């Protein structure tokens, strides 16, 4: 069904032809007409059209000239060439220039109507595909922010609304959640995008240097101040200044920063005159600044200056549906940076990633993948390429899922977890029980009792038949799955191992 808003332009020097086509398409679309190339160009300058019906033989410049000029200007709407039989060769040339189809005079009205409807429907479909592609692009990323979860969609919408605003913004969230990426998106999507983006990590600058870094200094302002230096706030004039970990600023610096925001000017250390600045402040913190204000560690007046609007970033553990998308993004980026590496993630790796709690959030996920890509040898990133702490944590996650789904009882899950910890300590210590006990923070005697209880043994040796209900962890499985009966069966074929 052709949209009522579709517009067709008829370019023909014969008024009768123009009128007959107008009547033919009446009700299906709007029709505008032109008798010459110049009239057509004038109409196109003020009227968007979805389809052009173009006669090649026109007074003055030909239809072919119009088609050539339109092709040079950019993407064409579909063009149907109207040609007399003697100019079919010219029509073929028009097709090479981008015309979608052609009809010959005299044309059959019903066939022309069907052709127009088909091309307009294709135009609608093309627009819908582009709209959906744009929607998907917006749904999964904004700048370098990535996520399709409801929480990140809300962040995207908030950033888009605030990007055009002049209001200062406070971004909150745990370390590694992407607070600087939010600040950059606010900058790049707003009217200050052409200006500088200055990022300042307030926690990384020593107290003795922070005032000079923020406000700048004049020559001779203090020892070693041999020349004037522009501060970071002044360097951000006309753009955005990102104050990361703003909660780490001392009370004295907070007071000076407040004055800068109130007066919209900065005084360099040792200076005598304020320097006007125009900056938008985006601050970030992983602290609860409201509590800091209540307990007197952060100025309330500065808090309300920087927290005109707030954006709260969720931790990665609260948006696990984004883990796969982020993982694939970081894998592609790390592979490009390394010039080699795996092309995909093994299903077990993705499952482990989705179970892991990610205390370091998105930054930790990126670092884990970057490290794994550097060490991996195959085309698939496997669990063997992951850090041991993540693999160990995944064992706990598997046990948790097994208990939650009723596959294991609590006592059995605790036993399997404990035996896995014992086995890891023993293997790290080369099966020296004294060193393993020290790693675990228990006595050697207690370790020996637990070894006997779980039937633990080095690879290739016979495990002691466990005295309890739990068997030694099977290798190479990440979660112990053996049974006492399996341990007894293996004892019939292998020599016993000696205690260290």
* Within-domain flag for 496: no
- Taking the CA of residue 442 as centre, how many other CA atoms within 13 Å lie in the half-sphere pointing to its CB? 17
Answer yes or no: are the C-beta atoms of 311 and 157 closer than 8 Å.
no
Residue range(s) defining the domain that contains residue 363: 317-346+358-379
Helix (H, G, I), strand (E, B) or coil at 202: coil
pLDDT of residue 489: 34
pLDDT in tens, 378-430: 899 998 888 877 876 666 656 666 666 676 677 776 777 787 778 878 877 88
Domain with residue 92: its CATH number is 3.40.50.2300
- In this structure, are 161 and 261 located in the same domain? yes
* Within-domain flag for 385: no
pLDDT of residue 278: 95
For the ranges 51-55, 83-87, 496-500, the maximum mean pLDDT occurs at 51-55
Backbone phi, psi, residue 381, to 5°: -80, 120
- In this structure, are 255 and 300 located in the same domain? yes
pLDDT in tens, 283-317: 999 999 999 999 999 999 999 999 999 999 999 99
- In this structure, are 117 and 43 located in the same domain? yes
pLDDT tier at 466 (50, 70, 90 boundaries)? low
Q: Are strands 275-276 and 265-266 parallel, antiparallel or unpaired?
A: antiparallel
- In this structure, are 191 and 305 located in the same domain? yes
- In this structure, are 14 and 97 located in the same domain? yes
Alpha-helical segments (H) within 223-376: 232-235, 251-263, 289-294, 300-306, 323-338, 347-355, 361-375
Nearest to 302 by CA among 240, 241, 260: 260
pLDDT tier at 81 (50, 70, 90 boundaries)? confident
Largest CA distance in the chain: 107
Place of tokens 């200094």: 217
The pair of three-digit structure tokens given for residue 268, joined into one six-digit string: 């360099």
- In this structure, are 370 and 464 located in the same domain? no
Cα–chain-centroid distance for residue 246?
24
Helix, strand, coil % over all residues of the chain, rounded to 5: 50, 15, 35
Cα–Cα distance, 125 to 184 (Å, whole number): 35
pLDDT in tens, 227-271: 878 899 999 999 999 999 999 999 999 999 999 999 999 988 887
With a cut of 60, say whether residue 212 has pLDDT above it: yes
- In this structure, are 282 and 180 located in the same domain? yes
- In this structure, are 69 and 110 located in the same domain? yes
Domain with residue 161: its CATH number is 3.40.50.300
Report in angstroms the alpha-carbon separations of 28 from 23, 34, 106, 189.
Answer: 10, 19, 22, 40
Supply the Cα-derived Rg of the chain in whole angstroms.
Answer: 35
- In this structure, are 431 and 452 located in the same domain? yes
pLDDT of residue 490: 33
* Within-domain flag for 138: no
Domain with residue 340: its CATH number is 1.10.8.60
Q: How many domains does the chain have?
A: 4
Q: Compute the mean pLDDT over every residue in the chain, rounded to the nearest whole number.
A: 83
Q: For residues 236 and 110, which has the higher predicted lDDT (pLDDT)?
A: 236
pLDDT in tens, 331-363: 999 999 988 889 899 998 998 898 888 989 999
The pair of three-digit structure tokens given for residue 94, joined into one six-digit string: 């028009």
Residues constituting the chain: 500
């Amino acid at each position: 069904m052709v949209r009522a808003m579709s517009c067709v332009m008829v370019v023909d020097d014969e008024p009768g032809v123009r009128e007959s086509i107008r009547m033919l398409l009446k009700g299906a679309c709007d029709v505008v007409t032109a008798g010459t190339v110049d009239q057509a160009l004038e109409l196109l300058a003020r009227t968007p059209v979805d389809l052009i019906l173009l006669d090649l033989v026109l007074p003055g410049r030909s239809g072919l000239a119009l088609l050539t000029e339109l092709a040079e200007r950019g993407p064409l709407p579909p063009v149907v060439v109207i040609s007399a039989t003697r100019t079919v060769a010219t029509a073929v040339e028009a097709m090479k220039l981008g015309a979608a189809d052609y009809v010959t005079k005299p044309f059959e009205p019903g066939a022309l109507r069907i052709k127009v409807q088909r091309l307009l429907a294709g135009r609608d479909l093309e627009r819908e595909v582009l709209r959906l592609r744009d929607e998907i692009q917006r749904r999964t990323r904004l700048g370098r922010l990535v996520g399709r979860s409801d929480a990140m969609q809300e962040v995207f919408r908030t950033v888009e609304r605030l990007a055009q605003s002049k209001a200062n913004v406070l971004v909150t969230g745990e370390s590694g959640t992407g607070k600087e990426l939010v600040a950059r998106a606010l900058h790049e999507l707003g009217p200050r995008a052409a200006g500088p983006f200055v990022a300042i990590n307030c926690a990384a600058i020593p107290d003795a240097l922070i005032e000079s870094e923020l406000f700048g200094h004049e020559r001779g302002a203090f020892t070693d101040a041999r020349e004037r230096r522009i501060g970071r706030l002044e360097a951000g004039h006309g753009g955005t200044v990102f104050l990361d970990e703003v909660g780490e600023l001392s009370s004295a610096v907070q007071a000076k920063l407040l004055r800068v925001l109130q007066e919209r000017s900065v005084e360099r250390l040792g200076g005598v005159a304020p320097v006007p600045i125009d900056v938008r402040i985006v601050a970030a913190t992983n602290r609860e600044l409201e509590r800091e204000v209540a307990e007197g560690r952060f100025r309330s007046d500065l808090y309300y200056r920087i927290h005109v609007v707030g954006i709260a970033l969720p931790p990665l553990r609260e948006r696990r549906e984004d883990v796969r998308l982020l993982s694939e993004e970081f894998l592609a980026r790390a592979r490009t940076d390394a010039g080699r590496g795996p092309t995909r993630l093994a299903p077990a790796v993705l499952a482990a990633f989705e179970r892991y709690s990610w205390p370091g959030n998105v930054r930790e996920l990126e670092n884990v993948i970057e490290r794994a890509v550097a060490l991996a040898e195959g085309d698939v990133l496997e669990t063997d390429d992951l850090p041991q702490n993540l693999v160990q944590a995944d064992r706990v996650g598997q046990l948790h899922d097994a208990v939650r789904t009723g596959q294991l009882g609590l006592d059995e899950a605790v036993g399997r977890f404990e035996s896995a910890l014992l086995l890891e300590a023993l293997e790290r210590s080369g099966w020296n029980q004294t060193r393993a006990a020290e790693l675990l923070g228990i006595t050697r005697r207690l370790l020996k009792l637990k070894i006997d209880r779980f039937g633990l043994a080095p690879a290739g040796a016979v495990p002691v038949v466990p005295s309890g209900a739990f068997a030694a962890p099977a290798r190479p499985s990440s979660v112990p799955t053996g049974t006492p009966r399996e341990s007894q069966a293996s004892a019939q074929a292998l020599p016993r191992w000696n205690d260290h």
